[in-house]
Structure 1
Amino acid sequence: MRVLLIGGNGFIGSHLVDGLRAAGHTVSVLDPRAPRADADWRGVEYRQAAYSDRAAIDAMLDGCDVVLHLASTTVPSTSNLDPVRDVSTNLVDTLGLIASMRERGLRRIVFFSSGGTVYGNPDRLPVDETHPLRPISSYGVVKVAIEHYLLMYHALGDLDPLILRPSNPYGPRQIASGQQGFIATALACAHQGLPLRIWGGGNTVRDYLYIDDLTDLVVRAVNGSSSGVYNVGSGAGHSLNAVLAAVERVTGRTIRVEHLPERGFDVREVVLDIAAASARFGWRPQVELEQGIALTWHRDG
C-alpha cells in the first residue's frame, strides 16, 4: 500500500515513516522543509513543497492509497497570535487537500487532530470521545473544524476518514522549542545546564505518550477501513512538576526552574480515555513515562 504523509518531516511524521516502511508500505512525504538529517529517508519519495501547493499535492496523490495528514503551521502557543493565518494555512489548505482527494476518488485519510486541545478544560477525567468540544486556542478550534469537515464528507459518502486525537507525544527527534514538547525541552535544559521555563506553578496535568506507542497504533489502523474518532494517549496523567522530577531522576541532574505567569490558552488538566482505540485496534501503550524519558535521553543524548 502506498501511504502519503502530509507533514512527514516532523517529529511524529519521521517516526511514522520508519514504522510504515518496516510494515512493508511504500511511503511518500510532502513537507515544506528539507529532509531532516536525523532520520532515514531511504526508499521514500520525498517532495519539498508548501501545503498550499495544489500541483504538488495532486502529483503526490496520484497512485496513493491512503493519506496521513499531520501538517500544522501552528502550535497552541502561537495560534492565537494570528488566527487568520491559522485558518488560512491549516483549515483552508486542508480543504484544498480534500478537494484533490475527492477529484481522484481517493477516500482514505487519517487526520491527526489533538487530544490535548479540542476538549478545552474537561468536565470529567479521563475524557472520552463523546465529551463536548470546547477548545480555548485557535489551534484547537481549527482542529475541530477540520474534524467536522471530514465527518461531513463521510456522511455525504465521499471520504472514509479516521480521526486520531493524540495526547502529548514525546520521544527521540522531538525539537526542544519551548513552545511544544515539555519533555524534550526539559531534557535539553538538563543536557545544556539551562533553566526550564514553566508557565504557572507546574500543576498542569497532561497525558504523555511515547512515540513508539503512537506509531504502533497508526500502523495497526492504517491497514483497515475503520472510520470515526479515537483518542490516542497513555490513559494516565502527570503534572509538569512530576515530569520534571522524573527527568531529574533519569538524567541525574538538577534543573533550575523559572516560573512565568499562567497562560489563558493552556488547558489545566487533560487525561484521555483510550478504551475505544484499545477495543477497535487491539492496542495498548507499552512504555511508561519514566521508561520513555530514559529511552529518549539515551537515544538523543
Structure 2
Amino acid sequence: MNILVTGGAGFIGSHIVDDLVQAGHRVHILDNLSTGFKVNVNTGAVFHLGDLLEVGLSAVFEAARPEVVIHHAAQVDVQTSLANPLLDAKINILGTIALLEQCREYGVRKLIYASSAAVYGTPQYLSVDEAHPVKPLSFYGISKHTPEHYIESFASLYDMDYTILRYANVYGIRQDPKGEGGVVAVFVDKLLEGKQPVIYGDGEQTRDFIYVKDIVSANRAALSKGSHGIYNISCNEQTSVNDLLRVMCSICGSSFNPSYGPARTGDIVHSRLDNRAALHALGWSPVFTLKDGLAATFAYYKTQYQVG
C-alpha cells in the first residue's frame, strides 16, 4: 500500500513510519523538520522536505500517489498556541485543509488524523468518552478539533474514508525534551542530567499516559478499521504528575525531590479517556503499562546520554 505520513520525522510519526516500512508498505514522509529530526527518518521511506502550505505539496502527492494519508504534522504545544494563536491556526487548521484538498485531487482512499484529548477541555465526567461535550480550554484544543469537522465534510462530499484518533498524553522514545516535549520527556532529561525536575501546580493533577508504541498499533489498526469514526486512544488510567515522577525516580534510582512552580494557563486538572470504543471498533488495546513504557524510555535515553 502507498502511504503518506505527514510529520513522519517527528516523535510519533517516525515510529508509525518504522512500523509501516517493516510491514512492507511503500511509505513517503512529508516533514519541514521544524520539530522533527532527519535522524528519525527511516531509510526505507521516501523523504520530502516541505510544508503543508507550500506550493510543492501537490508534487509530493504526485510522487507518492498515496492510498492512505496519516496526518501527524502539527503545532502541538499548548503554550505556543496561547502565545501565537495565528501560527497555531495556520499550521493545524489551514495546513489540514490544504492536505485535504490534495487528498480530494488525488483520490486518497482514507485519511487517519491525529487529534487530541485537548478538544474536550475540562472534563464534565471521567472517563471521558467520545460523546463528551467538546469545549477546548486552549487555542491548541480548538485548532485540533476544527480539522475534525473539515475531515468529516470532505469525506461526505468527496467519498473519502477517515478515522480520527484522539490521543491521551503520549510519551516515549524520540520525544524531544528541549522543544515541545511532554512532561515525561522533560523529567527524563532532568533526572539523567542530575537536575531537579519542576512540577507546575501542586502535582496532583492527573493525566492518562500512553506509550508511543501503543499509538503505533492504533494507527496500524486504523488502516483497515474504524471507518468514519472518532476514537480515544488511551490507557483509561489516571496518574498524578507527582506519582509519575515517583515511578520515574524509582526506575532510575533517584530521590523524589521536585520543585514546584505556578500552574500553567490552559492546562486542565484531571484527565482520563475512555478507550472502549477503540477496543470495539479497531480491535485495539494498549499493551504497555506505565512502568514498562517508562522503563523502555529510560533505557533508550541512557544510551543516548552515554554516547553524548
* Structure-1-length-normalised TM-score: 0.94
> What is the DSSP-based 3-state SS (H/G/I as helix, E as strand, rest coil) of the residue aligned with 2:227?
coil
Matches of 1:25 and 1:137, distance apart in 2: 37
Residues 12-65 of structure 1, C-alpha deviations (whole Å, 9 max, x = no match):
01100111111221111010118735535222100111221132x212223111
Q: CA deviation at 1:139?
A: 0.5
1:282 corresponds to which residue? 283
Contact kept? 1:194, 1:256, Cα under 8 Å: no
Matches of 1:250 and 1:105, distance apart in 2: 48
Question: Which amino acid in the other structure matches residue 293 of structure 1?
Answer: L
1:80 corresponds to which residue? 82
Question: Which amino acid in the other structure matches residue 122 of structure 1?
Answer: P
Q: Superposed, which structure 2 residues align to 1:1-301 within 5 Å?
A: 1-33=1-33, 36=37, 38-39=39-40, 41-55=42-56, 57-62=57-62, 63-115=65-117, 117-177=118-178, 179-224=180-225, 226-254=227-255, 256-301=257-302
Question: Which amino acid in the other structure matches residue 194 of structure 1?
Answer: K
Matches of 1:40 and 1:52, distance apart in 2: 21
Matches of 1:84 and 1:25, distance apart in 2: 36
Contact kept? 1:129, 1:230, Cα under 8 Å: yes
Q: CA deviation at 1:223?
A: 3.1
Residues 159-198 of structure 1, C-alpha deviations (whole Å, 9 max, x = no match):
2121100111111111113753111111111100112121
Matches of 2:218 and 2:188, distance apart in 1: 26
With 189-198 and 126-135 compared, the bigger mean Cα shift is at 189-198
> What is the DSSP-based 3-state SS (H/G/I as helix, E as strand, rest coil) of the residue aligned with 1:294?
helix
With 173-182 and 200-209 compared, the bigger mean Cα shift is at 173-182
Q: CA deviation at 1:92?
A: 1.1
> What is the DSSP-based 3-state SS (H/G/I as helix, E as strand, rest coil) of the residue aligned with 1:118?
helix
With 20-29 and 221-230 compared, the bigger mean Cα shift is at 221-230
Count of residues in correspondence between the two structures: 299
Matches of 2:283 and 2:37, distance apart in 1: 32
Distance 1:90 1:186, change over 3 A: same
Q: CA deviation at 1:267?
A: 1.2
Q: CA deviation at 1:264?
A: 2.8
Q: CA deviation at 1:292?
A: 0.9
> What is the DSSP-based 3-state SS (H/G/I as helix, E as strand, rest coil) of the residue aligned with 1:285?
coil
Q: CA deviation at 1:97?
A: 1.2
Matches of 1:85 and 1:210, distance apart in 2: 28
Q: CA deviation at 1:255?
A: 5.0
Contact kept? 2:41, 2:47, Cα under 8 Å: no
Percent identity over the alignment? 34
Residues 97-142 of structure 1, C-alpha deviations (whole Å, 9 max, x = no match):
1112112222411110102x11001111110000000100101001
Residues 213-263 of structure 1, C-alpha deviations (whole Å, 9 max, x = no match):
111111121134722100001111101001000000000012542211112
Matches of 1:228 and 1:9, distance apart in 2: 26
Matches of 1:74 and 1:270, distance apart in 2: 18
Distance 1:168 1:300, change over 3 A: same
Question: Which amino acid in the other structure matches residue 61 of structure 1?
Answer: F
Runs (4+) off by over 4 Å: none
Matches of 1:153 and 1:81, distance apart in 2: 30
